Structure 1
Amino acid sequence: MIRSALPLAVLSSILLTSAALAAPSVVASTKPIQSLVAAVMGDTGTPTLIVKGAASPHTYSLRPSDAAALESADIVFWTGHGLELFLAEALETLSTRAQVVELAETPGITLLPLREGGAFEAHEHEDEDHAHEDEHEHEDEHDHAEADGDMHFWLDPQNASLMVTHIAATLAAADPENAAIYASNAEAELARLTALEAELTATLAPVAASPFIVFHDAYQYFEARFGLTVAGTVTVSPETMPGAARIDALRAKVSELGATCVFAEPNFEPAIVRTIVEGTDAEAGTLDPEGASLTEGPDLYGELLRSLASGLVECLG
């Protein structure tokens, strides 16, 4: 009878090689971060995502499965303090054995300052101050005050390129056996990001001068990279819905600026936006800065930025 089993020594060698090539256990906080990490890891492994589905990092609460993933992680990639507040304490207590990588500290990354109060048009018009006073008294600005800058930096593809390079270097240092794979995958992702920026520059050019209002100030990096004209925000903080005075002030702002569109977000109540545009010439649209409606994975980042561009062109055009 012919035996098909491999000799024990050969089998042991194969098992040892497979173990050596096994990627570290990696966790990523949000969909855009997970997408970039997944692109670099490729076939070596899949990073575990914490904020899944349509959940928002602004309002997320950890689940038992999330805690287990953080406890067993070798590397955790997150945006940083000032956005994913639900993770700050958990990383200190659960991820004691993991390398925690705060991508806001990526070498060379551009961090823009927070615009005043989040409602960045308010300080330019002192007559509106009292209209917002009641809302500001009830809003907790501490959530965003912990950050040194605006933490939505992933929406600039040039920042994403720097993040990819940093992610690849981190993975290679932790897992030298797969370093060449990480470097190759990162190089391919960088080429895709360069092409994506050129594509979106051409797509958005026709609507760049059209003013619009967004739900919260999440788009400063996208606006700066592609020369867009964001006129203001519906709410100062996405954790707190705007009051009646704020809505009335925004309705006046829409008419004053001739804003073409007011954009909701899928994580939050769109009825507020419909109320703001009612009786004005503006239309209501939806922008999704975190990929709430997209499927997680390496392709999400490009889909995310393209969906922002298509949403803007559809409404503003």
Structure 2
Amino acid sequence: MAGVGEPALLLPAGATPHSYSLRPSDARKLARADLVIRVGPALESFLAKPLANIAHRARVVTLMRDVHLSLIPHSGHDDQESDPHIWLDPENARRIVRHVTAVLARADPDNGSRYTANSKKLLARIDRLDGFISTTLKPVRRMPYIVFHDGYQYFERRYGLNHVAAITLSPERTPGARRLQQIRGIIRANGARCVFTEPQFSPTLAHALTRGANTRIATLDPLGDGIRPGPDAWFKMMRGLAASLRACLAGG
């Protein structure tokens, strides 16, 4: 939307959509919105009621439903829903850009040429990023590692990565002693080089799992915690994922 306006962001940096509650200021933003873009109810469950209240007058774009994305089943979930972490695959990002560009141009035809020009620049940036990440991660493809929760499938599929287990299937669930013992066995059996935590959650479990093992601990951030919101945020977050994986798995 550069040169036209600036979108309002509902989820602040450092927050997780799994447990977020709307603030009064968020409700005011929604009350004024003509267009709301969300990933889907599986991720932003906190938006269900507020969006129902404005659906009669505001356009709501649900990316997982409205965009033809390459979706992956959500591991460990019994309801057959798709993994909502769709933004971690640059090909999905390209499809989202094209769809949102079309939505904006229809809603605001006077600025349609501006949206199209912005889209072309953004798609070119995504192409460059995709190539950079592919080159960065090529030396560590297939190296085994453990993640905090199973939220990286899109990134892993895109770049040929090999996580062998997740500490928890959902951030809201604390794994029990039996699950932790299973993870320790997986670390030993696979020679997992790293256990990755996330900045929104305590690293205590990772430290317990790696005690006495030759396994490093590092951080992956799929939400861009600490990154200033704006047009560069997604690119910085994606580069950060690649850098963390490369550094830990390669031992650098």
TM-score, normalised to structure 2, is: 0.96
- Partner amino acid, structure 2, of 1:48: A
Is 1:54 paired with 2:7? Answer: no
Contact residue 70 and residue 95 of structure 1 kept, 8 A: no
In the alignment, what sits opposite 2:240? 307
Contact residue 15 and residue 200 of structure 2 kept, 8 A: yes
In the alignment, what sits opposite 1:209? 142
- Partner amino acid, structure 2, of 1:82: A
In the alignment, what sits opposite 1:235? 168
Measure the CA separation in 2 of the matches of 1:178 and 1:316. Answer: 46
Question: For residues 288-307 of structure 1, what are the alpha-carbon distances to aligned partners after superposition, in whole Å with 9 as ceiling and x for unaligned?
Answer: 00111211100011111100
Measure the CA separation in 2 of the matches of 1:182 and 1:300. Answer: 19
| Residue segments in structure 1 that go unaligned for 5+ positions in a row | 1-40, 118-140
Contact residue 76 and residue 169 of structure 2 kept, 8 A: no
| RMSD after superposition | 1.3
Superposition misfits of 4+ residues, deviation over 2 angstroms: 105-108
Larger CA Rg, structure 1 vs 2: 1
Measure the CA separation in 2 of the matches of 1:234 and 1:63. Answer: 31
Residue 248 of structure 1: which of 162, 181, 187 is its match? 181
Paired residue secondary structure (1:249): helix
Question: For residues 92-113 of structure 1, what are the alpha-carbon distances to aligned partners after superposition, in whole Å with 9 as ceiling and x for unaligned?
Answer: 0245421000011243311111
Is 1:80 paired with 2:13? Answer: no
| Number of aligned residues | 250
Percent of matched pairs sharing the same residue = 43
Measure the CA separation in 2 of the matches of 1:235 and 1:104. Answer: 23
TM-score, normalised to structure 1, is: 0.76
The structure with the greater share of residues assigned to helix is 1
In the alignment, what sits opposite 2:5? 45
Is 1:108 paired with 2:68? Answer: yes
In the alignment, what sits opposite 1:70? 30
5 Å-filtered alignment, 1:172-183, equals 172-183=105-116
5 Å-filtered alignment, 1:1-317, equals 41-117=1-77, 145=79, 148-317=81-250
Paired residue secondary structure (1:231): strand
Q: Which structure has more RCO (C-alpha within 8 Å, separation ≥ 6)? A: 1
In the alignment, what sits opposite 1:134? none
Contact residue 75 and residue 169 of structure 2 kept, 8 A: no
Contact residue 294 and residue 300 of structure 1 kept, 8 A: yes
| Residue segments in structure 2 that go unaligned for 5+ positions in a row | none
